[in-house]
């Protein structure tokens, strides 16, 4: 009943699953400052208790005593000063957000807002302002009192606020630097791989299924989506446990991050206990929302990182694109190392219970470099940098992925015969492509590409 009285901006958090609610709260600009404001009331109570009840002035030297009138003047002056610094901080924040949106990607806004350092800095400003404002209200009626804790705390907070303002400006300017942005994006995606995907999926994956119940699969039951939206989160552990109890296999027809329309295929199930299954139970394990989240969706992080590179290509900033390419290569290496590319999730008895709409390494390879390759067009230095990054990846991944890496690089050079290419660009591209061919054991496939590129020069000479 009380939820209905709340505005929808707050009511939606009570309707979210715990993990999504935690993620959304940490991504808002008011959550951490709200905690600081609550803390400021606690500090107000402590300092008022020390000065008015405990009478701290009786236990400290007179040089630290301050009467009521000077205390009021001090606090009233600092209210305006702290408010001015807060206004400058918020103005700087808006400038940063505008720069991110125009120069990099609109999806970068939430990363800066959700950054813990940013939220702590803004929280300190709100803490200081609320503290001096509330304390000022409580000491206006005091005339013959001496204060120690209140003026001391007020001066200390003013000093902290000034230092925080300096650090916030340094934080905002350094966060906008390309190498910091790309590294932050990469580390966030790696965190998703190591914490979320490893905990949610890797412990249940099995490469070779033992019994897929093919006979019962002929009469599988298909469940369609009841609403449109993005697949934000899937509770795989609960789904596996319930499928084990029901003696069925669940097949998911969409991946986390996919957009589904009402009536689209959602999931299907089959097995000896299929007739007793309640589909609503399994539907509740799949969270659908109006936007994508990064909780279990690493490809969203890869997309945001590639968008920075695409945007820099349009801004004639190739060095930023090169930095993105290097960070993407490192992220692909982490994906290959920590993710088992199998669609089967099994229970404790190694019986397959969930079949995902899984993707292989080539899918992540495309999500990482596909957009960059497309928007690079005939920018052959950037194409060459992608091939260099693929060569570094090829040196560190397992052998069964090498063919995928080579195929992607080979496909990236297919459009070159249709375009004119400078001789130096061609020679450097061929050199790096040959290095990749050596690392992937495709020297023979390199020769036709070399002949084709050399023929371009003959046709234009």
Q: Please, which pLDDT band fits residue 406 given cuts at 50, 70 and 90?
A: very high
Q: Please, which pLDDT band fits residue 3 given cuts at 50, 70 and 90?
A: low
Q: In percent, how much of the chain has pLDDT > 70?
A: 91
SS3 state of residue 75 = helix
Measured distance CA(28)–CA(31) in Å, rounded: 6
Query: Three-state SS string across 98-113, please?
Result: HHHHHHHCHHHHHHHH
Overall average pLDDT of the 294-302 stretch: 83
Measured distance CA(288)–CA(389) in Å, rounded: 36
SS3 state of residue 345 = strand
SS3 state of residue 158 = helix
Q: How much is the pTM?
A: 0.80
Q: According to the model, what pLDDT value does residue 417 have?
A: 67
- Top mean pLDDT of 25-34, 46-55, 114-123, 270-279 is at 270-279
30-45 confidence digits (pLDDT tens): 888 889 999 999 999 9
Q: According to the model, what pLDDT value does residue 354 have?
A: 94
Work out the mean pLDDT of the chain and round it to a whole number.
85
Q: Characterize 423-453 residue by residue with b for buried, 16 or more Cβ atoms within 10 angstroms of its Cβ, and e for exposed.
A: eebbebbbebbbbbbebbebeeebeebeeeb
46-78 confidence digits (pLDDT tens): 998 998 888 887 788 877 777 777 888 888 888
Residue 4 clears pLDDT 70, i.e. is over it: no
Q: Are strands 286-289 and 221-224 parallel, antiparallel or unpaired?
A: unpaired
Q: Please, which pLDDT band fits residue 439 given cuts at 50, 70 and 90?
A: very high
344-357 confidence digits (pLDDT tens): 999 998 999 999 98
- Phi, psi dihedrals of residue 396, rounded to the nearest 5°: -120, -5
200-244 confidence digits (pLDDT tens): 788 898 888 888 998 899 889 999 999 999 998 899 999 999 999
Overall average pLDDT of the 84-100 stretch: 76
Overall average pLDDT of the 105-133 stretch: 83
Q: Please, which pLDDT band fits residue 176 given cuts at 50, 70 and 90?
A: confident
Minimal CA–CA distance to 217: which of 155, 156, 269, 150?
A: 269
Overall average pLDDT of the 293-321 stretch: 86
Q: Please, which pLDDT band fits residue 383 given cuts at 50, 70 and 90?
A: very high
Measured distance CA(406)–CA(437) in Å, rounded: 7
Q: According to the model, what pLDDT value does residue 230 have?
A: 93
| Angle, in degrees to the nearest 10, between helices 149-175 and 68-99 | 10
User: What sign does the dihedral 174-178-181-182 (CA atoms) show?
Assistant: negative
SS3 state of residue 337 = helix
SS3 state of residue 398 = coil
**CB of 422 closer than 8 Å to CB of 377:** no
Q: Which helix (H) or strand (E) holds 59?
A: none
Instruction: Tell me which of 49-58, 262-271, 325-334 is least confident.
Output: 49-58
Residue 459 clears pLDDT 60, i.e. is over it: no
Residue 429 clears pLDDT 90, i.e. is over it: yes
Question: Angle at the Cα of 200 (from 348 to 401), degrees rounded to 5?
Answer: 95
Q: According to the model, what pLDDT value does residue 25 have?
A: 74
Residue 1 clears pLDDT 60, i.e. is over it: no
Q: How far is CA 170 from CA 33, 183, 280, in A?
A: 20, 18, 51
Q: Please, which pLDDT band fits residue 403 given cuts at 50, 70 and 90?
A: very high
Residue 13 clears pLDDT 70, i.e. is over it: no
DSSP character at residue 205 = B
Q: According to the model, what pLDDT value does residue 203 have?
A: 85
């Amino acid at each position: 009943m009380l939820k209905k009285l709340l505005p929808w901006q707050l009511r939606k958090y009570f309707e979210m699953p715990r993990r999504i609610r935690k993620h959304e709260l940490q991504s808002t600009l008011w959550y951490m400052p709200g905690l600081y404001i609550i803390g400021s009331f606690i500090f107000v109570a402590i300092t008022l208790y020390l000065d008015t009840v405990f009478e701290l002035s009786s236990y400290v030297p007179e040089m630290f005593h301050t009467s009521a009138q000077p205390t009021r003047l001090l606090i009233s002056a600092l209210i305006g000063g702290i408010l001015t610094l807060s206004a400058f901080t918020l103005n700087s924040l808006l400038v940063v957000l505008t720069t991110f949106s125009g120069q990099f990607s609109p999806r970068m806004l939430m990363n800066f807002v959700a950054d813990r350092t940013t939220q702590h800095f803004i929280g300190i400003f709100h803490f200081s302002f609320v503290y001096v404002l509330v304390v000022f209200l409580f000491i206006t009626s005091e005339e013959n009192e001496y204060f120690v804790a209140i003026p001391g705390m007020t001066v200390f907070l003013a000093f902290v606020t000034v230092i925080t303002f300096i650090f916030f400006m340094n934080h905002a300017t350094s966060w906008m630097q390309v190498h910091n942005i790309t590294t932050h994006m990469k580390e966030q995606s790696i965190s998703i791989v190591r914490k979320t995907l490893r905990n949610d999926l890797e412990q249940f994956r099995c490469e070779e299924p033992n019994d897929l119940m093919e006979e019962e699969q002929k009469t599988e039951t298909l469940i369609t989506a009841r609403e449109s939206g993005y697949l934000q989160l899937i509770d795989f552990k609960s789904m596996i446990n319930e499928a084990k109890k029901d003696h069925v296999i669940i097949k998911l027809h969409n991946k986390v991050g996919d957009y589904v329309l009402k009536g689209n295929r959602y999931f299907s199930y089959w097995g000896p206990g299929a007739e007793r299954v309640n589909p609503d139970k399994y539907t509740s394990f799949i969270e659908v929302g109006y936007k994508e989240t990064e909780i279990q969706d690493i490809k969203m992080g890869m997309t945001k990182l590639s968008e920075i590179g695409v945007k820099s290509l349009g801004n004639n900033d190739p060095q930023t694109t090169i930095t993105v390419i290097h960070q993407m290569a490192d992220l692909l290496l982490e994906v290959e190392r920590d993710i088992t590319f199998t669609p089967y999730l099994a229970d404790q008895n190694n019986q397959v219970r969930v079949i995902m709409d899984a993707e292989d390494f080539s899918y992540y390879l495309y999500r990482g470099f596909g957009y960059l390759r497309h928007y690079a067009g005939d920018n052959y230095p950037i194409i060459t940098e992608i091939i260099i990054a693929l060569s570094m990846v090829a040196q560190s991944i397992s052998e069964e992925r090498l063919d995928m890496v080579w195929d992607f690089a080979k496909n990236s050079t297919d459009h070159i015969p249709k375009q004119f290419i400078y001789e130096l660009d061609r020679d450097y591209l061929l050199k790096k492509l040959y290095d990749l061919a050596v690392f992937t054991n495709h020297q023979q496939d390199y020769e036709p590409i070399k002949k084709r590129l050399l023929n371009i020069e003959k046709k234009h000479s």
